[in-house]
Amino acid sequence: MSHDGEGKVRIGITLGDVNGVGPEVVMKALSDNRLFQTITPIIYGSSKVISHHRKILNIQEFNFNTVKSINEVIPRKINVINCWEEELKMEVGTPSSETGVYSYKALQAATADLAAGKLHALVTAPLDKHTAQPAGSGFTGHTEFLGKAFPNSSPLMFLVSGELRVALVTGHVPVTKVASLITKENIQAKLNVMVQSLKRDFNIRKPKIAVLGLNPHAGDNGVIGSEDMDIIAPAVKAFNDKSAVVYGPYSADGLFGSGQYKKFDAVLAMYHDQGLIPFKTLAFETGVNFTAGLPVIRTSPDHGTGYDIAGKGIASETSLREAIYLAYDIYNNHQVYDEVTANPLAFTKFGGDR
C-alpha cells in the first residue's frame, strides 16, 4: 500500500471505551498540528461520541471530517468513521456493558481495514475488557484479539519509552500459573520475536537483550528456586549460539535499581508485574504498549480507561501521542529495513552504509 497523497501515513485510532478517557486523550493528542505533516489520522468510533465529550470538556477547537468508509478520507485532516448509527446513552466515568461493546465494534472495523491493507498502522485507545465483551466473542484484550485476527502471528507485549523497552514471557495470567509457563521453548520463542522486532521495528542491527530471572536474586544459585539455573540460564546460553547478544538471568531489582538496564536495547521479564512496575515507574506518562510479532503495526497508550478522571479534562494525552509517533516511526523503520534486506549489496560499505 502506498501513502496518501503528499506522503502521508494513514494511522487508524480507535476511540476506546466511550465512558473512559479515550475520546479526551484522542482529541487532545490530535490537537498537535505537527502530526499532520506526516500522518492522516482516521478515528474509528462515532462523531456523536466525540461531540458529546467535546461539549463536556469544553474543547473549542476540534474539527473533523466524518466519512462512511476509509475510501473517503481526506489527507491531512482528522477523519472520523462512524462504526455505528445508534445514539448511545453515555455516563462518562461509569463502566457500562450497554455502551462498552461499542469499543469492540470500533476495534473490529479498524482491524478489518488494517488487515485489508487500507491502514499503515493502528493505535488503540483503552477499552474495558469486562464491558467490551459481546456474548460469545471470548474477548480478553487487544493483544489476544489481534493474535486471532492474524492467526500465523506470535504477538508479544512490548512496552516502549525512548531507549527503554520491556517485553514479557507471560502476560495476563495468574501469578500461581507463571512458573509452569516458564519453559525453555517459551523463553526462546519470545526472544526470537524480540530480536526480529528490534531489528525491523526499531532498526537496531545487533540487539543486546537482558533476560530477567524468575525468583528473587535470580534464584541465588538454586537456593531460592531452581527455574533460573535449570530453565532460564540454559535457554539464554542456547540462544547465544544463534549469534544474538542475550545475557541473563539477571535479578530484576538489581538490573533496574542500579540503572544497568540502560546498557541493553531491551529487557525480557518473566511475568507482568516484574516488567511493568519498573517500566511504569520510569516512564509512566511517555510509555507505549507495542504489539510485536504481528504482520501489522499496533500501538496503544500504557494506561487504562481512567474512569475516575474521565470527563474532567485532566487526562494526559502524552502516552497516546507517543503511541501515534511510535507507530509512524516503526512504519518508516520497516521501509528502511525491507529495502536493506531486499537488496543487501546496495548497503555494503561500498554502497554507502545506512
* pLDDT tens figures, 92-147: 999 998 999 999 999 999 999 999 999 999 999 999 999 998 877 888 889 889 99
Q: Which residues of the chain have pLDDT under 50?
A: 2-5, 7, 349-354
Specify whether the CB–CB gap between 42 and 70 falls below 8 A: yes
Task: Return the CATH fold of 1-153+294-354.
Answer: Isopropylmalate Dehydrogenase (3.40.718)
Q: What is the pLDDT of residues 219-242, one digit of tens each?
A: 999 999 999 999 999 999 988 766
Report the 10 Å Cβ neighbour count for 259. Answer: 9
Q: How far apart are CA 45 and CA 19, in angstroms?
A: 13
Phi-psi region of 225 (alpha: psi -120 to 50; beta: other; left: phi over 0): left
Report the DSSP beta bridge partners of residue 246: 209
According to the model, what pLDDT value does residue 140 have?
Answer: 83
According to the model, what pLDDT value does residue 351 have?
Answer: 43
The grid coordinates of residue 220 equal: 541465588
Report the DSSP beta bridge partners of residue 184: none
Strands 121-124, 79-82: parallel, antiparallel or unpaired by DSSP? Answer: unpaired
Q: Calculate ∠ Cα 69-73-74, nearest 5°.
A: 165
Let me know if 347 is exposed, middle or buried by CB neighbors in 10 A (0-12, 13-18, 19+). Answer: middle
Specify whether the CB–CB gap between 100 and 126 falls below 8 A: no
According to the model, what pLDDT value does residue 61 have?
Answer: 86
The grid coordinates of residue 55 equal: 461539549
Q: How far apart are CA 132 and CA 208, in angstroms?
A: 38
Please identify, in words, the CATH class of the domain defined by 155-291: alpha beta
Domain boundaries, given as residue ranges, for the chain: 1-153+294-354, 155-291
Q: How far apart are CA 354 and CA 352, in angstroms?
A: 6
Please tell me the total number of residues recorded for the chain in this structure.
354
Specify whether the CB–CB gap between 44 and 14 falls below 8 A: yes
According to the model, what pLDDT value does residue 346 have?
Answer: 56
According to the model, what pLDDT value does residue 6 have?
Answer: 53
The answer to whether 1-153+294-354 and 155-291 have equal CATH topology is yes
According to the model, what pLDDT value does residue 260 have?
Answer: 96
According to the model, what pLDDT value does residue 144 have?
Answer: 87
Specify whether the CB–CB gap between 42 and 9 falls below 8 A: no
